Amino acid sequence: MGAIFLIRHGQASWGTANYDELSSRGEEQARHLGYAWEAADWLPTTAASGSMKRHHQTALNTLAAAGQDEGYDVDHGWDEFDHEAVMEAHIPGFQTKDPRVFQDAFVRATDRWAAGEAEGDHESFAEFSARVLAAFDRLALNAGQGQTSVAFTSGGPIAIVASHLLTGDTTLWSTLNSVVINTAVTKIVTGRSGRTLLSFNEHGHLPADQVTYR
C-alpha cells in the first residue's frame, strides 16, 4: 500500500497587491509542518508542487524544516483556479477588505462557476476538475507499495480530489473548499482496491493561534 499527501499552501497575502506570496505567518505554518515531519523522522519518497509562488514557498519552507534537500517536481496541474477571474465574471467590480464579506461573495461566485453559469474566457470548472484529476493520476504513479508522494497545492484542487474520492464527482467540492486550512494535510492511501481518502484537513502540527483559512 502506498500513500499520497495533499498539502494546502501556507497563508498567502490576502488583501495585498500580490496574493500569490506567503505571509510571514504562512512561512511559519509551513515550517511547523516540516518540524512535525522531522520529529516523526518522516520524509516523502517523492514531492511535487503546483507552479504558483505560494506553492513553491510552502514546499521550500516545509522540506527545509524537515531536513529534505532533494527538491521536488513542478506540475501545473496542481495550480489553483484563477479566483480573481471567476469573481470578476460572476460579481463584476466586487471589492472588499472584510474577509467574511469576501467569503460569502466567493462562495456565491464559485458555486455559479461550478454550475457552468456565465462562463468567460477563464478556465471552466470542468476543465479545472479534469486538470487536477490528471495531476492526481500522475502523482499516484509514484505512490506504489511502501512509497509516499506529497503535493503542495491549494484548497481548490484538494477539494476536487477529496470530493471525487468520496462521491465520484464534484458534489462536495464547494463545501470542502470552504474549510481547507492553510498547510493542512489530506491523506489518501492507494492499493489493490484503488484509492481511498483516509483523512482530510489534518492540522495537528499547527498551534491554535496559527490556524487560518485565508
The tens digit of pLDDT for each residue in 146-191 reads 999 999 999 999 999 999 999 999 999 999 999 999 999 999 999 9
C-alpha–C-alpha distance, residues 35 and 43, integer Å? 11
Bridge-based pairing state of the strands 185-191 and 194-202: antiparallel
Q: What is the pLDDT of residue 80?
A: 98
Query: Within 10 A of 68 (CB to CB), how many other CB atoms are there?
Result: 19
Taking residues 40-60, what's their average pLDDT? Answer: 97
Helix, coil or strand: residue 191: strand
pLDDT class for 118, splitting at 50, 70, 90?
low
Alpha helices in 91-203 (DSSP H): 99-114, 125-140, 155-167, 173-177
Q: Is 0.85 surpassed by the pTM of this model?
A: yes
Q: Which 8-state DSSP code applies to residue 77? A: G
Minimum mean pLDDT range among 1-10, 17-26, 97-106, 148-157: 97-106
Contact 54, 78 (CB under 8 A): no
Taking residues 127-156, what's their average pLDDT? Answer: 96
Whether 209 has a pLDDT exceeding 90, the answer reads: yes
Sign of the alpha-carbon torsion through 29, 177, 128, 102: negative
pLDDT class for 12, splitting at 50, 70, 90?
very high
Which candidate, 47, 33, 68, places its Cα nearest to that of 139? 47
What homologous superfamily is domain 2-80+143-210 in, according to CATH? Answer: Phosphoglycerate mutase-like (3.40.50.1240)
C-alpha–C-alpha distance, residues 100 and 98, integer Å? 6
Minimum mean pLDDT range among 44-48, 104-108, 207-211: 104-108
Helix axes 83-90, 99-114, angle to 10 degrees: 80
Q: What is the pLDDT of residue 117?
A: 82
Taking residues 97-122, what's their average pLDDT? Answer: 85
- Say which residue the cell 476543465 belongs to: 127
Taking residues 190-214, what's their average pLDDT? Answer: 95
Helix, coil or strand: residue 185: strand
pLDDT class for 103, splitting at 50, 70, 90?
confident
C-alpha–C-alpha distance, residues 85 and 90, integer Å? 9
Mean pLDDT of the chain: 94
Query: Within 10 A of 79 (CB to CB), how many other CB atoms are there?
Result: 22
pLDDT class for 15, splitting at 50, 70, 90?
confident
Dihedral angle of Cα 12, 89, 167, 79, to the nearest 10 degrees: -40
